[in-house]
Amino acid sequence: MALQLYVGNKNYSSWSMRPWVLMKQAGIPFEEKMVRFDSFDVNSVFKKELRTVNPIGKVPVLVDDGFAIWDTLAIAEYLAERFPDQQLWPKDVKARARARSVCAEMHSGFGALRNHCPMNIEASLPDVGRLIWRDKADVRADVSRLCGLWSELLAAQPAGGLLFGDFTIADAYFAPVCMRINTYGLPVPADLAAYVARVSALPGVKAWIADALAEHDFIDFDEPYRLGR
């Protein structure tokens, strides 16, 4: 039985984007199960459908022959072990530990960036981004940390590379951040803007973006800055 990956709306669901892009970019075959965001209320269709495979009713969920994994880091680790030839983590033991560290930091941190700049691939909100940048010191702090993290990693790679040279879980993990930078026009140095462009051009990321743009689905509770599309 093929792997099944449950995801939410591609325009908004940053958590879903990570394993989807990881699998697509690595060439791991899977069947997509898209569950539309209608509401996050306990009795919503979204929650009811997700709870059939996942007790917490959230996306993403990876199902392998009836076995469900529902945390993005757990999904990434499972795929790395299930498909070792894909080398989803760096080969070098120290680089691998660093990649896990930065993914865990992304997993649990950058709360201001997440809260004030929700992923919205279809939208172009540079004016909103300028106001957020002006008024939200915690967003500026998150972006400063992000720039320091990326700069350190990219400095150790050949020019034009990804965070650990070749594509890894780390690049999939930061792909939604790249989408936020694009949507809100957040200021980052030229070399990091070039990294954002390289991630955005990855075939797996381009495929996700294309699907997001094709949704034509306006979810009002995921749209703090617009009244319509």
DSSP per residue over 61-127, as a string?
EEEETTEEE-SHHHHHHHHHHH-GGG--S-SSHHHHHHHHHHHHHHHH--HHHHHHS---TT---HH
Q: Which two tokens stand for residue 63?
A: 């199902």
pLDDT at position 19, please? 98
Both 129 and 185 in a single domain?
Answer: yes
pLDDT at position 2, please? 86
Longest dimension (CA), the chain: 51
Both 113 and 193 in a single domain?
Answer: yes
Q: Which two tokens stand for residue 41?
A: 């209320």
Q: What angle do CA 86, 21, 32 make, to 5 degrees?
A: 105
Q: Indicate which CATH number applies to the domain containing 71.
A: 3.40.30.10
Q: Indicate which CATH number applies to the domain containing 151.
A: 1.20.1050.10
Q: Which two tokens stand for residue 45?
A: 């269709």
Is residue 43 in a domain? yes
Domain total of the chain: 2
Both 104 and 187 in a single domain?
Answer: yes
Both 103 and 194 in a single domain?
Answer: yes
pLDDT at position 190, please? 97
SS3 55: coil
Model pLDDT for residues 124-133, shown as the tens digit of each residue: 999 999 999 9
Is residue 164 in a domain? yes
Both 17 and 73 in a single domain?
Answer: yes
| Residue pair 2/23 in contact by the 8 Å Cβ criterion | no
pLDDT at position 169, please? 98
Both 64 and 162 in a single domain?
Answer: no
Is residue 140 in a domain? yes
pTM score of the predicted model: 0.97
pLDDT at position 229, please? 84
Is residue 29 in a domain? yes
- Rounded Cα–Cα distance for residues 218 and 9 (Å): 10
Model pLDDT for residues 135-167, shown as the tens digit of each residue: 999 999 999 999 999 999 999 999 889 999 999
Is residue 228 in a domain? no
Both 101 and 170 in a single domain?
Answer: yes
Tell me 27's DSSP state: T
Is residue 41 in a domain? yes
Is residue 198 in a domain? yes
pLDDT at position 1, please? 62
Both 121 and 216 in a single domain?
Answer: no
Both 37 and 119 in a single domain?
Answer: no
| Residue pair 93/195 in contact by the 8 Å Cβ criterion | no
Both 11 and 36 in a single domain?
Answer: yes
DSSP per residue over 158-183, as a string?
-TT-BTBBB--HHHHHHHHHHHHHHH
Is residue 185 in a domain? yes
Positions in the chain whose pLDDT score sits under 70: 1
SS3 201: helix
Range of the domain at 51: 3-84+212-222
